Chains A and B, each alone.
Chain A
């Protein structure tokens, strides 16, 4: 079938009528590109001093863009196409990969965790790589947390960063004013964030999808604006600095400790190296992320998790079966918020400094993108998308100014290519007369 349709495409390309249509289409595309590029690329405004603007014309760039679009469109239309079975199934390679990954969850989980644990000790590993790994893991954790709200309960949350911020600021304030350490305030960060989740959730959970999205977005902005302006407590735009680092069962990672305190390297009798703290921080977030994952997977099999998924599928049916939608949604919101709060607490201790700048809407958008790009509900998909979205801008550092441009374009491209997410493959969570296969990651 595949070969036959390939031949058909080539035959079609040879008829003059088809070629003319092809050229017309490419010329139209080039024309649109010219019109798009003409005002913004073709005419660059610049300061000429005295608050006035001048214009530099770059018509050569417009012509180049138009030519590139023309050629690109022709190549795109003439690309060898295989037979398409269904519109949504997308590329078969990834569909097979998705199906495979959902069958082989335990294998992938073991391999992934082994790699993550071994990463700091691999020969090519560097401080930069471990830092990058830590960032990826923060996003993995946030993605898994948001997955409870978006992937399982089907509630669209555009302000998830608010709970991340609440967790981070809870720790920062507890540490600054009451001298709490990271481990002491970790539960409080989660609790306070969960509290905020419930407070926000209570009035708004009656709303339908998109309204909920915009209200949560508003909530995220409210939190950020309050953090920015309530200077006496939050330090305003300057944020809070000197947040304590995590310690290893009370042993700090410093070159020299004050009187009466043993440092990590003194206790174990090894040389001091600044890398020890970086590696330790990495393992802390790895542990937190794995706990998050196990926690959500367990929840998923409890009645409450079943209720989330049922509610996502059909709210009316749930109500008819006696499930209280408000309580169920509220629990999803609260638990998602709590996980975000834990991640925020870790973020604060890792950075040592937080300011409202770290909690903007684009952060929420990135986390949501990780969940959706990975394939909502898929735990491995979240990991894959987090690696992709965090390292893509990093790789792009070579062409620094274009990296966010590529980031946006990649988000669109992945969605157009696989609208259900990279690793979307929905297995029923319950089967009749068959033992369900569930590994650590599913």
Chain B
């Protein structure tokens, strides 16, 4: 029981991170119907920027941890969202309305470019990050095995849910959110009714990148080491999460992320660590075969 609870906590933490990345995929897919393959790399860039921001703040003498965290969060979100904007502007916007495969190849090219860019400017070695938030509390104890919830895990889960709630509100109530929902339903019609489609898409990319940046910051804090290669697998898993939850659906992305995190944690806890990635893909295939729209997705109408 205790072991189960511990895996549950670990899975929730991991799942929150996947969920944050998955939102970026699902929002972009919902609006322009493409897989933004470079999103995993954006998340990796977010992780790097967060480390650099921590170092700069350390040099500047900011030693109060909550203040440092907030500052790092804001700077990371800012700089990473500019990367998101630039990627959309250079690699995707010229390809709007071209055959479906073209943006995908462009996205893969962007991903290769960003990966090597970070490797060149920051080096190939893993970047260590000393633990910033230590300690935690024991939630439950039985038979000498304590279930620990660290403050960091709590922080990750709380921040994720707060951001999730915030973004849902933005999309449900603001005029930007209304424009985004309009574009998701019918991009041509939205343009005819005076929605600045280019701006909405740019903003969507920036929002997605900002959330991926938060995920990058969380991973930096959680694992304490970042290298230039983390983007690919995290990106694939987050996309899996988005598909699992039903692509285009915001709560679906979050739910999918948490499920993927739980599956991974339980699989490595009870079966083999080596095959934990296989478990994620097997679940994905099963879901798509039996419920192709994902858990919370709407069935897609086939137009003739």
Q: How large is the interface on B (under 10, 10 to 19, 20 to 34, 35 or more residues)?
A: 35 or more
A261 touches B (CB below 8 Å): no
Residues of B within 8 A of A122 (CB): none
A119 touches B (CB below 8 Å): no
- Nearest-Cβ distance from residue A169 to partner chain B, whole angstroms: 17
Tell me which of B91-99, B185-193, B250-258 binds A: B91-99
Cα of A404 to Cα of B108 in the assembled complex, Å: 12
Asked if A412 contacts B110 (CB within 8 A), the reply is yes
Report if A419-B128 is in contact (Cβ < 8 Å); known contacts: A35-B82, A43-B52, A316-B302: no
Residues of B within 8 A of A409 (CB): 109, 113
Asked if A209 contacts B100 (CB within 8 A), the reply is yes
Cα of A272 to Cα of B243 in the assembled complex, Å: 58
Residues of B within 8 A of A150 (CB): 101
Residues of B within 8 A of A219 (CB): 281, 285
Cα of A35 to Cα of B81 in the assembled complex, Å: 11
Cα of A217 to Cα of B240 in the assembled complex, Å: 10
Tell me which of B115-123, B146-154, B174-182 binds A: B115-123
Asked if A203 contacts B289 (CB within 8 A), the reply is yes
Residues of A within 8 A of B122 (CB): 40, 44-45
Asked if A215 contacts B112 (CB within 8 A), the reply is no
Report if A156-B236 is in contact (Cβ < 8 Å); known contacts: A211-B243, A213-B35, A412-B90: no
Q: 0/1 per residue, A186-217, Cβ < 8 Å to B?
A: 00000000000000000110111111011101
Q: 0/1 per residue, A141-152, Cβ < 8 Å to B?
A: 000000000100
- Nearest-Cβ distance from residue B233 to partner chain A, whole angstroms: 9
A229 touches B (CB below 8 Å): yes
Which residues in chain A, 412-439, are within 8 Å of chain B measured between CB atoms? 412, 415-416, 419-420
- Nearest-Cβ distance from residue A151 to partner chain B, whole angstroms: 10
B55 touches A (CB below 8 Å): yes
Asked if A207 contacts B288 (CB within 8 A), the reply is yes
Tell me which of A46-54, A177-185, A328-336 binds B: A46-54
Q: 0/1 per residue, A115-159, Cβ < 8 Å to B?
A: 000000000000000000000000000000000001000001000
Residues of B within 8 A of A45 (CB): 51-52, 55, 122-123, 127
Report if A372-B94 is in contact (Cβ < 8 Å); known contacts: A32-B82, A204-B288, A316-B302: no
Asked if A416 contacts B91 (CB within 8 A), the reply is yes
Report if A419-B102 is in contact (Cβ < 8 Å); known contacts: A408-B110, A411-B109: yes
Cα of A40 to Cα of B59 in the assembled complex, Å: 17
Contact of B113 among A40, A204, A362, A405 (CB under 8 A): A405
Report if A214-B79 is in contact (Cβ < 8 Å); known contacts: A407-B112, A416-B94: no
Which residues in chain B, 39-81, are within 8 Å of chain A measured between CB atoms? 45, 48-49, 51-53, 55-56, 59, 75, 79
Tell me which of A220-228, A285-293, A300-308 binds B: A220-228
Contact of A43 among B35, B56, B106, B272 (CB under 8 A): B56
A259 touches B (CB below 8 Å): no
A88 touches B (CB below 8 Å): yes
Asked if B277 contacts A52 (CB within 8 A), the reply is no
Report if A214-B113 is in contact (Cβ < 8 Å); known contacts: A368-B105, A372-B102, A402-B120: no
Contact of B112 among A36, A38, A362 (CB under 8 A): A362
13 A-B residue pairs with Cβ-Cβ distance under 8 Å, sorted by A, are A40-B48, A45-B52, A88-B98, A156-B104, A211-B292, A218-B280, A219-B285, A226-B278, A402-B116, A404-B116, A408-B114, A412-B109, A415-B102
Inter-chain pairs besides A36-B79, A376-B101, A420-B99, 17 sampled, C-beta below 8 Å: A32-B82, A35-B79, A39-B52, A39-B53, A44-B123, A45-B52, A209-B100, A213-B35, A213-B104, A214-B35, A218-B285, A219-B281, A221-B281, A404-B116, A411-B108, A412-B113, A420-B102
List 5 A-B pairs, minimum CB-CB distance, nearest first: A411-B109, A408-B113, A408-B112, A419-B98, A218-B281
